[in-house]
Structure 1
Amino acid sequence: MRPLQVGIIGLGRSGRDIHGDVVSRLPELYQLAAVSDPMEERLRRAEQEWGCATYTDYRSLLKHEGLDLVVNASPSHLHVPISLEILESGLHALCEKPLAHRAEEVDLLIAASERTGRRMAVFHQSRYVPGYQQLLQVVRSGVLGRIVQASFRFNQFVRRWDWQTLQEKNGGNLLNAGSHLLDQALQLYGPGIQPDVFCRMDKANSFGDAEDYVKILLTHGSGPVVDLEISSCDAYAGYEYQVQGTRGGLVGTRSELNWRYYKPEEAPHRELVTEPISHADGSPAYCSERLIWHEESWSLPAEEESLIYPSIAAVYYRMLYEHLANGAPLEITLQEARRQLAVTEQCFRQNPDYAIGHRN
């Protein structure tokens, strides 16, 4: 086993603070060999912190001898063309979210990966958020019964004025924070299932022209209604997850969950009554009973809560190493990313004011 040699394109918030940080913390798996960014001050800082080679032009980085993997942390609207160049250069590629503008662009990446024999991955690290993983365990255990609705929230009250508020740069809440929520939410449907979509968008506190409020409802057959909300105008943001089931429910956040449920064998026997229900004295009555509720909870240790995002990035990178070095399955596939982008395309079609880059 040897550390994989890594190059990073782009030293912004994700390139430096997420990818550069996690790669430098996993020396047994990766070695940060080279970085590129057009801003000289970022390169000087990289030289001081990591002692790696630096390039102002990412195409020069792609020629750096000995690279195995290149991380594409360029601005969102450049993700597809630069990822294609990485693959065509004979290197494995890891791309930040959003992977692409459209589902058909993912097909180009899949074809390039197959043609070159190089692996292509997308950084959907939020699949490994502890609260979400615990939610899946509870749902799959069956204690909540059949899931009727699952709600996912990424809400806050915030104003934003950077490039990620611009449609022309693939900005907006749907393709950014929404990438994480959709990746989580779609796991509640079976593999390959493409749900029906209802979506409304708005621009509330953004200084650009991209949306910063998104409401999505997903449905498929008898499966659960999935309710997603990404809002920059929620002054009372609360839970991140809520699940409603036929035997109970769950509510919580990435670091704390509570759920309650009843056991059918402990519930009073009931049969449908078609006549009016009355008390013993003949007065009208409502259906009323006492169920035995079982309540459980889960929480991260306080000292781990502030480390959630570095931790899940490390989990992702360990998984990716096992895939690239040892042939283990890639747990988050391009086909899953394609399904997600097919949903976002429907959202943009229903909201044409926010669809630059998505219009036919």
Structure 2
Amino acid sequence: MRQLNIAIIGQGRSGRDIHGAFFNSDANGGRFKVVAAADEIAERRQRAETEYGSDCAVYSDWRSIFDRRDIDLVINSTFSYEHYPVTLEILERGFNVVTEKPAAMRADEVRRLIAKAAEKGVMYNVFQQSRFTPYFDQVKKVIASGVLGRIIEIDISFDGFSRRWDWQTLQCMGGGSLYNTGPHPLDQALNLLDMYDVMPGEGLNVFCRMDRVNTWGDAEDYVKLILTAKDKPLIDLMISSCNPYPCFTYRIQGQYGGLKGSMAEMEWKWYDPAEAPAQKLIREPLASEEGMPKYCGETLKWHSDSWSGSGSAAFNSAVDRYYTMIYEHLVNGAPLEIHAGQVVQQIAVIEEAHRQNPLSVDFMLPEAEE
């Protein structure tokens, strides 16, 4: 089995705690080996030497990896606002790249990265692993089964109550709930719509309201995003740090029933039209046998089903499936189920949402303040 050599830029919450943790886990199965790690913080470099082993070189400057010829894949886990320029430079040097979300701050930047990867003959992909979570698989299975009939509305909620004061609350660093949390549920939403070539204002309608509530920065921590398109269900996406009573991750309304559930469990119910009482339109006022006014009423035979999983296991299995996809593509030429072209639409939606909600910029990058 061929082993791919990995370089990770950034050893923070994503670079170490997600990507690095996977490469060091049994799930890796020997397919990947971290041979280089870069971070400006000395303590993180020292930890990387210990955790990845003696074969891993550490660098304070990520550009040092350009001197190597043994790296098969670079993971870009820099600050959000750096994703585009860092990825562009890596691609220019002829390396395959997986970049953390958000892919970029602008849709045109994603397009330029796709073009650069094609020019250099390398792979460019975005870490949208939530597409592979078991709970999202289950949502798609229920919809595809047809038991709910035509889907009318899909509500997706990534919410809770929290206060935040780190760099991801700053607009100048690419922060805010929509750019940071948003790429996960928004990727799922756009996958359900399955019309990736349609941009906002060209057949994809976007309505958004944002607010800043429990943040010490200047970026949003409340997002209500509604997507509509011809012959598609309405999608209501909520990302909020202001909800102490989160109820569901998914709630679906359909022609014959619906679904509700979290990342760990779901239930859905439906009726079979073939089993339902025959009805016809009655124009005259409805009356009971006694001649009293009455409402429509009937007894439907409901069917139900459920699913249960594990929230933490869902995350880990999604990362495994994502990197299995990457491995099979780089080693065996298998097609990518998730590809960067799909992410262009996502970033375009985020851009439109911010256009509708211009927030004051109260902080700048340190070098800009000097």
Range into which the TM-score falls when normalised by the shorter chain: over 0.9
Aligned mate of 2:290, from 265, 270, 281: 281
Does residue 317 (structure 1) correspond to residue 311 (structure 2)? The answer is no
Does residue 342 (structure 1) correspond to residue 344 (structure 2)? The answer is no
Matches of 1:314 and 1:127, distance apart in 2: 12
**Contact 2:218 2:361 (C-alpha < 8 Å) held by counterparts:** no
Aligned mate of 1:326, from 306, 328, 332: 332
Does residue 352 (structure 1) correspond to residue 358 (structure 2)? The answer is yes
Aligned-residue offset at 1:198: 0.2
Match of 1:23 in 2: 23
CA deviation profile, 1:28-57 (whole Å, cap 9, x unmatched): 211111000001110111111112110000
Does residue 7 (structure 1) correspond to residue 13 (structure 2)? The answer is no
**Contact 2:135 2:314 (C-alpha < 8 Å) held by counterparts:** no
- State the SS of the aligned residue for 1:287: coil
Q: State the Cα RMSD in Å.
A: 1.4
1:26-41 equivalence runs, <5 A: 26-41=28-43
1:5 maps to a residue whose letter is N
Aligned-residue offset at 1:132: 1.1
Match of 1:130 in 2: 134
1:312 maps to a residue whose letter is A
Matches of 1:109 and 1:49, distance apart in 2: 31
- Alignment: residue pair count: 354
Aligned-residue offset at 1:86: 1.1
Q: 1:225 to 1:184 in 2, by over 3 A?
A: same
- State the SS of the aligned residue for 1:34: strand
Aligned mate of 1:245, from 254, 257, 271: 254
Aligned mate of 2:213, from 204, 211, 232: 204
Matches of 1:27 and 1:289, distance apart in 2: 56
Match of 1:153 in 2: 157
Does residue 299 (structure 1) correspond to residue 299 (structure 2)? The answer is no
- State the SS of the aligned residue for 2:114: helix
Match of 1:233 in 2: 242
Aligned-residue offset at 1:116: 0.3
1:37 maps to a residue whose letter is D
Aligned-residue offset at 1:355: 7.9
Q: 1:132 to 1:332 in 2, by over 3 A?
A: same
Aligned-residue offset at 1:27: 4.4
Match of 2:368 in 1: none
Matches of 2:334 and 2:195, distance apart in 1: 19
Aligned-residue offset at 1:247: 0.3
- State the SS of the aligned residue for 1:214: strand
TM-score using structure 1 length: 0.96
- Greater CA deviation, 38-47 or 26-35? 26-35
Aligned mate of 2:266, from 257, 260, 283: 257
Matches of 2:254 and 2:47, distance apart in 1: 51
TM-score using structure 2 length: 0.93
Matches of 2:170 and 2:268, distance apart in 1: 39
Matches of 2:330 and 2:23, distance apart in 1: 15
Matches of 1:353 and 1:18, distance apart in 2: 31
**Contact 2:257 2:269 (C-alpha < 8 Å) held by counterparts:** yes
Aligned-residue offset at 1:183: 0.2
